[in-house]
Structure 1
Amino acid sequence: MTSPPDIRGIGVVGSGLMGAGIAEVCARAHLDVVVREVSPEAAAAGRRRITVSLDRALRSGKIGEKERDDSLGRIRVTSDLDALADRDVVIEAIVEDEHLKTAVFGTLDKIVAREDAILASNTSSIPIMKLAMATTRPQQVIGIHFFNPVPVLGLVEIVPSLLTGTHVIARSTEFVQDALRKQAVRAQDRAGFIVNALLVPYLLSAIRMVETGTATAEDIDAGMVLGCAHPMGPLRLADLIGLDTLGAIASSLYAEYKEPLYATPPLLMRMIEARLLGRKSGRGFYLYDNEGGRR
């Protein structure tokens, strides 16, 4: 794997499922990775999450022991935001909240020293322009949107805003395709981009079917897997994404388009309020064990 010669140091803000996955694939691409979390405890949890994922890849034979150890050695997880100052690319991967993300970009603008550093967001739905305008260098801000689970799925959406520089678009695409060996697709800066603009109405429709008693979650998922050759049914996929994340994406889409198909179903809102968030909480439309497997 090769990366643009001026991209060697990667920063990741956040070490949840997405941030940890992004850090892992960058480290496996022989890049130096610094992950920033909000506290030493969160940093330790993020390190464990990355280690568990690499151990899983080792057990399945996808990587060898040396690659596992070398990849871990390329990752530093810290609660010190200043540790991102020397990074060539910083990828924000925190919770899908516009105000929190905007605050992160305002802070990164002050901290990241390299003037031509790429400031990227892994947002699923928030327009990149809103994040870019929190900085004094909107031409350096771009969306680099990975998909969960990051080490497995091969797609990345590249989302420039109206002000993103052409050189930043080219470097970001080269970084994704040449270094990370993922397929980059170009999306316009519209809420939801390509995949979520199509996927989320489908997932919300499935939730409405459960809500109205049209069918059970199990039967809906079986119908789409066995009848349409989908690898995973919509309710199981919603649980995997996280129902809170799905609700946040739906809210961004509805705010942008005002289309009823993007409106959050009441059942989804109640489940989020009850913290029944899917795999990460142990219960959503299905029950899960501590390893995230179905019960």
Structure 2
Amino acid sequence: MKLKACIKSIGAYLPKNIVYNQDFETFLDTSDEWITRRTGIKQRFKADKDEQTSDLAYKAALVAIKRAKINIDDIDMIIVATLSPDYFAMPSTATLVAHKLGLKVSAFDISAACSGFIYMLELAKSLVESASKKNVLIIGAEKISSVLDYNDRSTCVLFGDGAAACVISAGYENEILDVQTATDGEYAKLLFTNRPKYSKDCTPISLKMQGNDVFKVAVNTLANEVKHILSKNNLSKDDITHFIPHQANLRIINYVKEKLELKDEQCCVCVDKYGNTSAASIPIAINELYESKKLKKGDLMLFDAFGGGFTWGSALAYFDGE
């Protein structure tokens, strides 16, 4: 029987500090009402100054490995998706996580912004199904607070810190059914993190976004992605147990939900609690379902994400965890 790649577990870690919308009122021309109405976000988590992305990732990984009921030594590859790594360019955050786990295995980062989890899922699926790897640990981890301009109210109120991890293992049922990803670099300047152009340039790295333009492209791309992957796999919206979109903005989520005529009970929405955690967004949402006991073994999940690049992707996967 052909090996299948399965999501064996989910685990997450959130920093202890919570930043509420009202906290921004003390230094920005904004309000709880304005943020909530435009985004649906009420709060977000923020890491301590001495807490790095790899720390968040490591703590999420420990939870996922324990829930997968395997030993740490059973992990034979680690992939981290992040736009806020510990170090610029190198070493990879995944390398640091491997060290913290006491492992000397293949480890690397990918850069796909908010679509990072789906990109990792595609990689892990291929590696496991080819029998190249047995247990791939994929982690979406972000300390986005480290790359935010807190004078820019259009971006700094949107994002939160956090991490979530999955163990992708070989199995024979409840597989990752399909993954599709794509990019369009034409829109790179609408959502990006800048970098100094010269060695003497002291410009800080920070996230930049043209929010209205991103919104217009995102809503149509996400809806079309979902329609395509369902049609490709001969499934209808009624076959989906959980629609788990990237938690960027409640207006985007509601637009896609209405476009696809999905029921409220099918849609996972937790952007109000965590804000936009970029690559960690979808796995944090999966963990939210799991810990609330709404996610069961054999449930069919539909993921959908859009991020800087532009990158986007969708995936269909059964949950194989306990």
| TM-score, structure 1 normalization | 0.30
